[in-house]
Amino acid sequence: MHRIIIRYKHVKAIAVISFFCLFFLIDFSSGFSLKDKSANSGFSNSVYPRSYTLTNDKSELESYNRLDQSFNSFIKKWDLAGASVAIAKDGKLLYAKGFGYADKEDSIKAEPFSMYRIASVSKLITAVGVMKLIEGKRLNLNTKIFGENGLLNDTCYSHYVDKRVEDITVKNLLNHSAGWTSYWGDHMFINDMIAKSLKKPLPINLQDIITFALSKKLHFQPGTYSSYCNLGFSVLQLVVEKASGQSYESYIKENVFYPLNIEDANLSFNFDSLRYPNEARYYEIPEAQKVIAFDGSKDSILKCRGGNDIRTLGAAGGWVISSVSLLKLLLAIDGNDNFPDLLTRKSISRLIEREGEYQPLGWKTIYPNGKWWRSGSFPGTSALAVVRSDGFTYVFLTNTSPWSGSKFPYEIDRLMSRNLRMIENWPNVNLFYPSQPVN
């Protein structure tokens, strides 16, 4: 064996080179990376546009003046700190604009690249991730979740009191028919009560919440009824992790977002100080009561700034994303040929299938007129994502929860419907490719 002698200066040079190589590969906590996330995704960068750097000036067209006025009036009427709107028609991004402030304290104006929590719109993202696993033959809708033959057959979930949990399937979790309701409170927002029940200090984790739920009888036989419940989608977070062998966030990023060239989507952190770069600051009504922090570290804090545990909510309501990136996801699961789809036609059809009184898989409502609706609301957030049969797709995100709470997305939708009728002839633009000349 030859002896290799390396001088100190050579070691130093190698160390410097290694440092810079590591720097250019590292994934920053903001969710952005200097390496190409799509490299191993099987998708070409030319297929899906990069658009997370869009700014307000790209939509500064005279034909949009009335549209701008309408949005500004709406924000003033409802006392919203800020909002972001993205509108597409037939796969083309026509309008992307921020209004008001992403951060009032620091006077940061909202832009299309501003990122917002999207609450239960996150459920649609999770459903897309589950369908990708089904397409990859790593799951199916009839996969059992709990019990000896269930996917989550870990010891920590084996002490259930109701044998009916062994009947819960992936499909039951997706369409809210797993047997849980929020009759005694939403499992994902009663951390203090669960901690006391389990005789544990705050903070609690998702395993604790599920263990608590399994220690109670189900409210109904799985598969016989549909009752909106966050817990089912939070369980799906563990399902995704077990089936994929990755963390939920990593799997969704690598299989849903990065193939679409979306790099500004992340799971939320709870405290205001931990917001991502370009993430909005959140606001509640002036009368909002302060609560104990999710981890017990503070006695008085707004729910939107650390009172609620949004990160543990995760798959059910924890994503942060810009309006333009969320719009791009909608276009990639709408089944239309004018924008390439991420899922197969079969998977897309399954997501919007209406089965009697059961809720759809991930979407909130599928209307008979062809409107696909997904809304989300909790303190500091209201979000709406809609696909329509006339070719229009739109997203409205705001960092404020007005007094109307979960009913506010309906106000947003009425606004969007009025505003879309306001313009007879939309400009021939596509802001997904803003460098192209405007006709």
pLDDT tens-digit readout, 395-417: 999 999 999 888 999 999 999 99
What mean pLDDT, rounded, does the chain reach? 90
The predicted pLDDT at position 11 comes to: 35
pLDDT band at 436 (very low <50, low <70, confident <90, very high): low
**Quick one: DSSP state of residue 267?**
E
> Comparing 40-54, 109-123, 369-383, which segment has the lowest mean pLDDT?
40-54
Structure confidence by residue, pLDDT tens digits, 370-389: 999 999 999 999 999 999 99
The predicted pLDDT at position 385 comes to: 98
- The average pLDDT across 59-78 equals 97
d(CA 351, CA 325): 20
- Rounded to 5 degrees, φ, ψ at 155 are -55, -35
The Cα angle at residue 304 between residues 247 and 275, in degrees rounded to 5: 55
d(CA 83, CA 97): 8
- The average pLDDT across 81-90 equals 98
Percent of the chain with pLDDT over 90: 84
Contact predicate 110/350, CB 8 Å: no
Percent of the chain with pLDDT over 70: 88
pLDDT > 80? residue 180: yes
Q: Pick the residue with more confidence: 406 or 14?
A: 406
| C-alpha to C-alpha distances, 140 to 84, 126, 137, 337, 347, nearest whole angstrom | 36, 15, 7, 26, 11
pLDDT > 70? residue 31: no
- The average pLDDT across 325-336 equals 97
pLDDT band at 46 (very low <50, low <70, confident <90, very high): low
- Taking Cα atoms as reference points, which of 302, 255, 305, 316 lies closest to residue 280? 305
Structure confidence by residue, pLDDT tens digits, 266-292: 999 999 999 999 999 999 999 999 999
Q: Where are the alpha helices (DSSP H) in 60-183?
A: 65-77, 122-135, 170-174
Structure tokens at 27: 């994934």
Structure confidence by residue, pLDDT tens digits, 202-219: 999 999 999 999 999 999
Structure confidence by residue, pLDDT tens digits, 182-206: 888 899 999 999 999 999 999 999 9
Q: Which domains does the chain have, with CATH numbers?
A: 56-132+248-422 (3.40.710.10), 138-244 (no CATH)
- The average pLDDT across 109-133 equals 98
| 3-state secondary structure (DSSP) of residue 192 | helix
d(CA 404, CA 423): 29
pLDDT > 80? residue 90: yes
DSSP H or E run through 345: helix 345-352
pLDDT > 60? residue 15: no
- The average pLDDT across 291-299 equals 96
pLDDT band at 10 (very low <50, low <70, confident <90, very high): very low
- The average pLDDT across 305-319 equals 98
d(CA 120, CA 176): 13
Structure confidence by residue, pLDDT tens digits, 228-237: 999 999 999 9
The predicted pLDDT at position 184 comes to: 80
The predicted pLDDT at position 437 comes to: 52
- Taking Cα atoms as reference points, which of 123, 222, 238 lies closest to residue 181? 222
- The average pLDDT across 50-60 equals 88
Strand segments, DSSP code E, in 379-414 are: 381-387, 392-398
Q: Is the dihedral of CA 131, 406, 186, 221 positive or negative?
A: negative
